[in-house]
Structure 1
C-alpha cells in the first residue's frame, strides 16, 4: 500500500535550484567526479546551488567545492551578500570545520561545587 506524506511549507528542497535527483548525485559524488557532474549545469544555477548548499551545515563543504567552479560575477549575482565571501573562500585551500572539538585543559572538572575551606554557613 502506498501512502502519501504531506510536505510542509518549510520543505528545504523547494528552494533548491536543481532537481532533487541531481542534488542527490552531487552529494554522493567523489571530489574527482564532481566537475563532470556539474558540466551540464549553467553557471548561474551552479552559483545559486553553491549558496544553497553553503547555508546548510551538512552540505557546507560541497557548497564551497561548487563555488570553486563559478566566476566571481556569477556568485555575486546569487541571492544575498554571501557571493563574494563564498568566491574568496572557495579559492583558499579547504580546511574542514572542527565541530565539537575543544582543547584539553590540565585543570580537572569538579562536580562538588566551589566551596571555601573554613567557611561557615
Structure 2
C-alpha cells in the first residue's frame, strides 16, 4: 500500500532527495567510492534516491545499485510497486543492456555500399 507521500518515477516534479553534488559524485564513483558515499545517507533517503535515479534513463543502472543498499520493506514503503521492482532488480546479477543489438544481425556500414567488380 502506498502512502500519500510516496515517490513515483512518473512524477517529473519530484526533486532529488540529496544535493546535486552528491549525485554527481555518485555517478562518477567506482563501486567502493559509491558505497562510501551511500554509507552516510539514511536508508529511507537512499530508497528515495534509488527511485529518483531509476526514473532517469541515464542513471537507471545507478538507481538499481543504490536500491541494492536498501531492504525490500523500505523500498516498498517508499515507492510501492516501483520499490518492489527495484528490490527484485537489485538482487539479480547485473546484465548489461543490449539496446537493440541482436546476435548474428547483419552489419550496416555508414560508409556506403562497397561493390566490387
TM-score of the aligned structures, taking structure 2 as reference length: 0.73
- Structure with the higher fraction of residues in helix conformation: 2
| Alignment-derived partner of residue 42 in structure 1 | 42
How far did 1:36 drift?
0.8
Structure 1 portions without partners, runs of 5+:
1-11, 107-121
Instruction: Assess if the C-alpha contact under 8 Å between 1:13 and 1:20 holds in 2.
Output: no
Cα distance change of structure 1 residues 41 and 13 upon mapping to structure 2, 3 Å threshold: farther
Cα distance change of structure 1 residues 93 and 105 upon mapping to structure 2, 3 Å threshold: closer
| Alignment-derived partner of residue 30 in structure 1 | 30
Partners of 1:46 and 1:39 lie apart in 2 by: 9
Show the 5 A alignment for 1:1-121: 15-105=15-105
**Rg larger for:** 1
Q: CA RMSD in A?
A: 2.1
Count of aligned pairs between the two proteins: 96
Instruction: Assess if the C-alpha contact under 8 Å between 1:50 and 1:63 holds in 2.
Output: yes
Partners of 1:74 and 1:65 lie apart in 2 by: 15
Between 1 and 2, higher relative CO (CA 8 Å, sep ≥ 6) is seen in 2
TM-score of the aligned structures, taking structure 1 as reference length: 0.71
Higher mean alpha-carbon deviation, 13-22 vs 42-51, is at 13-22
Question: Which string of whole-angstrom CA distances, capped at 9 and with x for unpartnered residues, describes residues 32-88 of structure 1?
Answer: 221111011010000010011111111111001100000111101223420011101
Structure 2 portions without partners, runs of 5+:
1-11, 107-117
Please identify runs of 4+ aligned residues in structure 1 that moved more than 6 A.
Answer: none
